[in-house]
Amino acid sequence: MIGIVSYGFYIPKYRVTVDEIGSMWGKNPSEISASLNVIEKTVPAQDEDTLSMAYEASSMALGENIVPKKDIGVVYVGSETHPYAVNPTSTILAEFLGITGEYLASDTQFACKAATGAIISAQGLIASGFTKNALVVGSDRATGKPHDALEYTAASASVSLLLGQTNVAVEIVDALSFSSDTPDFWRREGIRYPSHGGRFTGKPSYFHHVYSASKKLLDKNKLHPQDFAHCIFHMPNGKFPQVVSGMLGFTKEQTSQSLVVSLLGNSYTASALMGLVHVLDIAKPNDLIFMASFGSGAGSDAFVLKVTPEIVNVRKSLSTAMENKEYINYATYIKQMGLI
């Protein structure tokens, strides 16, 4: 059995509402909220970045020496917003955490699925005997160009997963990836803001890849939507995951616990993982959980997960953390994001 031994998360306390952003640009806030199913999003402080958030999440995951640091032989950090273009986030994070010497460090990129792809790689390295444990982090300080559609949803957060074979709380039963060259979202080196293909990001990108990866994994394992207690899909907004959930035959009840996007926004590589840790707030031993991420460019990683009795020993409360928030206005938002 290989899976999640422990996990941690970090969300900034600051929030800006969709109403506040829409009002700034003379838009009808209620129409925007209704179209996106997003009410507000997280905003990092001026001194918070992908690395600092990854450290907070990982410190929670590792807790009080939950495993010896020498047994963590892999550190992966998936992100679209690494602090440096050249200088790994993963080695700095490992140093801060006290992981030194003999370990494999790597920064991964694949838009919003950079971390879930790393989970599959880490699982293979554990299975091969390369390492006893692996730390996989999804962390982003995401932003969109002012007055662009992304501005309403691009948010910040971090999730850290400690993977291993001992005291597994969430087993990775199986995983499957589906990919193609579909450039729906991109940012060239040195360009500050990402570009996207508008409506092109929907049917040929998000829906095609998430549906394909999910359907193929369900068929491979001879499983059906009704076999699962919960399902989680990448959340670029509040509507897409509900649509693809229905396409696959999952119910609204199975999806509801994961939909943190309405109050946190789209934290890119942390997005699907934030949905997972919110599900783990209430998941019970032996529950099956389905999860599918999405990364523009494009691809999806789908997972069948099974909760074990160990969950009671490592469970944290994302719901409680979400209640700690402070609202800011648009001027403060663009200042903290470094947009002025």
Residues with catalytic annotation? 80, 112, 234
Burial of 21 (0-12, 13-18, 19+ CB in 10 A): buried
Contacts 24+ apart (CB under 8 A), 331-340: 333/16, 333/20, 333/21, 333/43, 334/146, 335/46, 336/14, 336/43, 336/44, 336/45, 336/46, 337/43, 337/44, 337/143, 338/46, 339/143, 339/146
- Using DSSP bridges, classify how beta strands 133-141 and 156-164 pair: parallel, antiparallel or unpaired: antiparallel
Phi, psi of 58 (to 5 degrees): -70, -35
Closest alpha carbon to 19 in 34, 2, 9: 34
Q: Can you tell me the distance from the alpha carbon of 157 to that of 52, in angstroms, rounded to the nearest whole number?
A: 10
